[in-house]
Structure 1
Amino acid sequence: MPLSHDEITRFLKSVHPYDALPADVLDNLVQQIEVWEVEEDASVYELGTTLPGVFVIYEGQVEITDENDAVVSHLGLRNSFGERGLLRDGKAATKARAHTPSVLIVLPPDLVRSLIDGHDVVSKFFNRSRGDRTGPQSLATSSIDVLMAKNPATCPPSTPVQQAAQMMRDRHISSLCVTEGDKLLGIATLRDISGKFVADSMLKATTVSEIMTADPITLSPTDIGSDVLHVMMERGIGHIPISEGGKLVGVVTQTDLTHYQAVNSAELVRRIAKAQSAEDMAHVTVEIPQLLVQLVAGGNRHEIVTRLITDIADTATRRLLALAEDKLGPPPVPYLWLACGSQGRQEQTGVSDQDNCLMLDDSVSEDDMTYFADLAKYVSDGLDTCGYFYCPGDMMATNPRWCQPVRVWRDYFKGWIAKPNPEAQMLASVMFDLRPIGGAFHLFDDLQSDTLAAANANSIFVAHMISNSLKHTPPLGLLRGFATIRSGEHRNTLDLKHNGVVPVVDLARIYSLQGKLTEANTRARLQAAAATGVLSASGARDLLDAYDLIAETRLEHQVRLVKSGETPDNYLPPSALSDFERSHLRDAFVVVKTMQSAVGHGKGMLG
Structure 2
Amino acid sequence: MTLPVDEILRFLRSVHPYDSLAADTLDGIAQRFQVLNIDKGQPIYTFGEPMAGLYLLHDGEVEVRDGNGSPVSLLGPRNSFGERGLIRDNKAVTSTRAAADSVLLMLPRADFDTLMTTEPTFAKFFDRRRNDVRRGSDLATSRVQTFMAKTPVTCPLQTSVQQAARLMHDKHISSLCIVNDDRLAGIVTTRDLTGKVLAPGLPCTTPVEQVMAHDPLTLSPSAIGSDVLHAMMEHRIGHIPIVEAGKLVGIVTQTDLTRFQAVSSAELVSAIARADTAVEMARVTAEIPRLLVQLVAGGNRHEVVTRLITDIADTATRRLLKLAEATLGPPPVPYLWLACGSQGRQEQTGVSDQDNCLILDDAVTDQQMPYFAKLAKFVSDGLDTCGYFYCPGDMMATNPRWCQPVRVWRQYFQGWIAKPDPEAQMLASVMFDLRPIGGDKSLFDGLHTDTLQAANRNSIFVAHMVSNSLKHTPPLGLLRGFATIRSGEHRNTIDLKLNGVVPVVDLGRIYALQGKLTEVNTRARLRAAEAAGVLSASGGRDLIDAYDLIAETRLNHQLVRINAGDAPDNFMPPTTLSDFERSHLRDAFVVIKTMQSSVGQGRGMLS
What corresponds to 1:225 in structure 2?
225
What corresponds to 1:8 in structure 2?
none
What corresponds to 1:127 in structure 2?
131
What corresponds to 1:266 in structure 2?
266
Cα distance in structure 2, aligned partners of 1:301 and 1:588: 17
AA aligned to 1:164 is A
Following superposition, the deviation at residue 235 of structure 1 comes to 2.5
The alignment partner of 2:488 has SS state of coil
Cα distance in structure 2, aligned partners of 1:336 and 1:145: 43
Cα distance in structure 2, aligned partners of 1:124 and 1:95: 18
Closer/same/farther in 2, CA of residues 367 and 84 from structure 1, 3 Å limit: farther
The alignment partner of 2:338 has SS state of strand
Q: Which runs of 5+ in 2 are unaligned?
A: 1-21, 34-55, 59-81, 93-106
Residue 370 of structure 2 is aligned to residue 387 of structure 1: no
What corresponds to 1:161 in structure 2?
161
Following superposition, the deviation at residue 533 of structure 1 comes to 1.4
Equivalent residues in 2 for 1:113-512, closer than 5 Å = 126-129=130-133, 131-132=134-135, 134=137, 138-512=138-512
Closer/same/farther in 2, CA of residues 378 and 493 from structure 1, 3 Å limit: same
Q: Which runs of 5+ in 1 are unaligned?
A: 1-39, 52-65, 69-81, 98-102, 117-122
Cα distance in structure 1, aligned partners of 2:84 and 2:456: 38
Closer/same/farther in 2, CA of residues 67 and 216 from structure 1, 3 Å limit: closer
What corresponds to 2:584 in structure 1?
584
Q: Is the 8 A contact 1:376 1:397 kept in 2?
A: yes
What corresponds to 2:45 in structure 1?
none
What corresponds to 1:553 in structure 2?
553
Following superposition, the deviation at residue 230 of structure 1 comes to 2.1
Per-residue CA distance 1:329-357 (angstroms, 9 max, x = gap): 11111111101000000001111111111
Q: Is the 8 A contact 2:527 2:540 kept in 1?
A: yes
Following superposition, the deviation at residue 268 of structure 1 comes to 1.4
Cα distance in structure 2, aligned partners of 1:44 and 1:539: 43
Cα distance in structure 2, aligned partners of 1:275 and 1:368: 28
Cα distance in structure 1, aligned partners of 2:84 and 2:388: 29
Cα distance in structure 2, aligned partners of 1:325 and 1:93: 36
Cα distance in structure 2, aligned partners of 1:574 and 1:252: 32
The alignment partner of 1:484 has SS state of coil
The alignment partner of 2:131 has SS state of helix
AA aligned to 1:578 is S
AA aligned to 2:232 is M
Closer/same/farther in 2, CA of residues 41 and 470 from structure 1, 3 Å limit: farther
Cα distance in structure 2, aligned partners of 1:363 and 1:85: 53
Q: How high is the TM-score relative to the length of structure 2? A: 0.80
Following superposition, the deviation at residue 240 of structure 1 comes to 0.7
Closer/same/farther in 2, CA of residues 42 and 508 from structure 1, 3 Å limit: farther
Cα distance in structure 1, aligned partners of 2:256 and 2:336: 41
AA aligned to 2:376 is A
Cα distance in structure 1, aligned partners of 2:176 and 2:241: 10
Following superposition, the deviation at residue 224 of structure 1 comes to 1.9
Q: Is the 8 A contact 2:136 2:296 kept in 1?
A: no
Per-residue CA distance 1:472-496 (angstroms, 9 max, x = gap): 0000000111001101111111100
What corresponds to 1:25 in structure 2?
none
What corresponds to 1:543 in structure 2?
543
AA aligned to 1:151 is T
Percent of paired sites with the same residue: 70
Per-residue CA distance 1:440-468 (angstroms, 9 max, x = gap): 00000000011111111111111111111
Per-residue CA distance 1:26-70 (angstroms, 9 max, x = gap): xxxxxxxxxxxxxx998599546889xxxxxxxxxxxxxx999xx
Closer/same/farther in 2, CA of residues 484 and 133 from structure 1, 3 Å limit: closer
Cα distance in structure 2, aligned partners of 1:291 and 1:475: 29
Aligned-residue Cα RMSD (Å) equals 3.1
Cα distance in structure 1, aligned partners of 2:584 and 2:301: 17
Q: Is the 8 A contact 1:396 1:402 kept in 2?
A: yes
Q: Is the 8 A contact 1:48 1:93 kept in 2?
A: no
Cα distance in structure 2, aligned partners of 1:549 and 1:528: 20
Following superposition, the deviation at residue 166 of structure 1 comes to 3.5
Following superposition, the deviation at residue 197 of structure 1 comes to 4.0
What corresponds to 2:51 in structure 1?
none
AA aligned to 2:231 is V
Following superposition, the deviation at residue 133 of structure 1 comes to 5.0
Q: Is the 8 A contact 2:136 2:142 kept in 1?
A: no
Closer/same/farther in 2, CA of residues 47 and 93 from structure 1, 3 Å limit: farther
The alignment partner of 2:472 has SS state of coil
Per-residue CA distance 1:162-181 (angstroms, 9 max, x = gap): 33333333333222211123
AA aligned to 2:374 is D
AA aligned to 1:509 is R
Following superposition, the deviation at residue 312 of structure 1 comes to 1.0
The alignment partner of 2:303 has SS state of helix
Cα distance in structure 2, aligned partners of 1:572 and 1:43: 47
Q: Is the 8 A contact 1:188 1:211 kept in 2?
A: yes
Per-residue CA distance 1:286-329 (angstroms, 9 max, x = gap): 11112112212222211111111111111111111111111211
Cα distance in structure 2, aligned partners of 1:539 and 1:125: 29
